[in-house]
Amino acid sequence: MSRAAVLCGLGGALPATAVTNEELAAQLDTSDQWIRTRTGIGLRYVVAPGEATSDLAVAAGERALESARRTGGDKAADVDLVVLATSTPDRPCPGTAPGVAHRLGLGTVPAFDVAAVCTGFVYALATAASMITAGVAQRALVIGADTFSTILDPTDRTTRAIFGDGAGAVVLRAGESGEPGALLGFDLGSDGGGADLITVRAGGSRQRSTGEPPVEGDQFFAMEGRPVFTEAVINMSESSQRLLDRVGWTPAALDKVVAHQANVRILHAVGEQLGLEEKQIVVNLDRVGNTVAASIPLALTDAAAEGDLLPGHRVVLTGFGGGLTWGSAALVWPDIAPVTA
Ligand code: COA
């Protein structure tokens, strides 16, 4: 056995306002039927005016810390590292994580953001786990939080149907590789050749250095749906398979794949590529949409709260997103109680 990062707390948070497909159809040229059949999404949540990513991150962080306390006692919430995955920070500068750590009363712990869009949570998890195994940290709070409603083009029926706001968080502690909850391995990758497929064109140094205001529309999130669909299926399948090979699990021995909740057709296609049955694939996007960096921890929270994810289950998490980026993680599910919204 060797030193490992062990998952010991889990929580999620959603904003108060739910938006149904029917409400979108009243504003845009779309329908409940189109959105359900093409994406599997029925509902998403959006922040209120003035509400920010950090507000959701703090709520999810509090719940993950409470979850850690319930199984490990008060000391379980004494984290010495905060890693926040987000592509919708409160402000371009500074990072959002230090403010989140401050509001959580965590003192002067190191806190920083990781930007890998929908893969952000897996990248943040790998970063925090590596810092724990290296002995740089003992306990980490890892949060995925995004508010894509703040960067969507209000007239774009496709992205408005897909994306929702939310936050999910886990607590990791130093432990042993043989324990339930130990992160057993990661597979991470990127392909910057696909950077233009998922992007906000304006607002960065490339546009600002021109001295010109952004071209109308470039301040909004833009995505090329079809190639993104294909790349998501290929990269989540291949990344999961590489990790399964490394960990020594067959797809049949796997209990659950918790993939980034982008589109139910993507989830089924990944399942097909890996030769999985439908019951092995966790789905919660019908209730929350694509919540970007929050997607995987929110899916974990829902699945664990509903008894779909049980102690001893062999689990692979897999994500894909802008960058392009992708990543997977493997663990045996621990006996923890998630704290939900
Ligand atoms: N309501 C009704 N029609 C819509 C629509 C909506 N909300 N959004 C798009 N359409 C239309 C398109 O305009 C197009 O019309 P046209 O044929 O007249 O041009 C038609 O539906 C088909 O569009 P297409 O893009 O081929 O549909 P699709 O079946 O590929 O589904 C996505 C579109 C965006 C749902 C799908 O490509 C997808 O999920 N991509 C991945 C998105 C994603 O996961 N992003 C995040 C990854 S991290």
pLDDT in tens, the chain (341 residues): 899 999 999 999 999 999 999 999 999 999 999 999 999 999 999 999 999 999 999 999 999 999 999 989 888 889 999 999 999 999 999 999 999 999 999 999 999 999 999 999 999 999 999 999 999 999 999 999 999 999 999 999 999 999 999 999 999 999 999 999 999 999 999 999 999 999 999 999 999 999 999 999 999 999 999 999 999 999 999 999 999 999 999 999 999 999 999 999 999 999 999 999 999 999 999 999 999 999 999 999 999 999 999 999 999 999 999 999 999 999 999 999 999 86
- For the chain, first and last CA: distance in Å? 36
Residues 148 and 89 sit within 8 Å (Cβ to Cβ):
no
Indicate whether residue 36 lines ligand 1 (CB < 6 A).
no
Domain borders along the chain are: 3-176, 183-332
Q: What atom in ligand 1 is closest to the CA of residue 118?
A: 48
* Torsions phi, psi for 123 (to 5 deg): -60, -45
Residues 96 and 147 sit within 8 Å (Cβ to Cβ):
no
Ligand 1 atom 30: residue of nearest CA? 226
Q: What is the CATH number of domain 3-176?
A: 3.40.47.10
Active site residue 235: no
Question: So what's the pLDDT on residue 57?
Answer: 98
* Helical (H) or strand (E) element with 124: helix 120-133
Interatomic CA distance for residues 15 and 55, integer angstroms? 9
Q: Do 3-176 and 183-332 show the same overall fold?
A: yes
Active site residue 118: yes
Residue 180 CB neighbour total at 10 angstroms: 16
Among residues 260, 263, 284, 313, the one annotated as catalytic is 260
Q: Please choose from 31, 35, 158 the residue to mutate so as to test ligand 1's pocket, defined by most ligand atoms within 8 A of CB.
A: 158
Indicate whether residue 223 lines ligand 1 (CB < 6 A).
yes
Interatomic CA distance for residues 258 and 242, integer angstroms? 16
Q: By CB neighbour count within 10 A (0-12 exposed, 13-18 middle, 19+ buried), where does 218 fall?
A: middle
Indicate whether residue 233 lines ligand 1 (CB < 6 A).
no
Interatomic CA distance for residues 228 and 33, integer angstroms? 22
* Helical (H) or strand (E) element with 200: strand 198-200
Question: So what's the pLDDT on residue 93?
Answer: 96
Q: Please choose from 24, 28, 38 the residue to mutate so as to test ligand 1's pocket, defined by most ligand atoms within 8 A of CB.
A: 38
**Homologous superfamily assigned to 183-332:** Thiolase/Chalcone synthase (3.40.47.10)
The tokens for 231 are 């790349």
DSSP code string of 273-335: HHT--GGGB---HHHH-B-GGGHHHHHHHHHHHTTSS-TT-EEEEEEEETTTEEEEEEEEPPS
Indicate whether residue 151 lines ligand 1 (CB < 6 A).
no
Active site residue 260: yes
DSSP state of 208: H
Indicate whether residue 227 lines ligand 1 (CB < 6 A).
no
How distant is the alpha carbon of residue 337 from its chain centre? 19
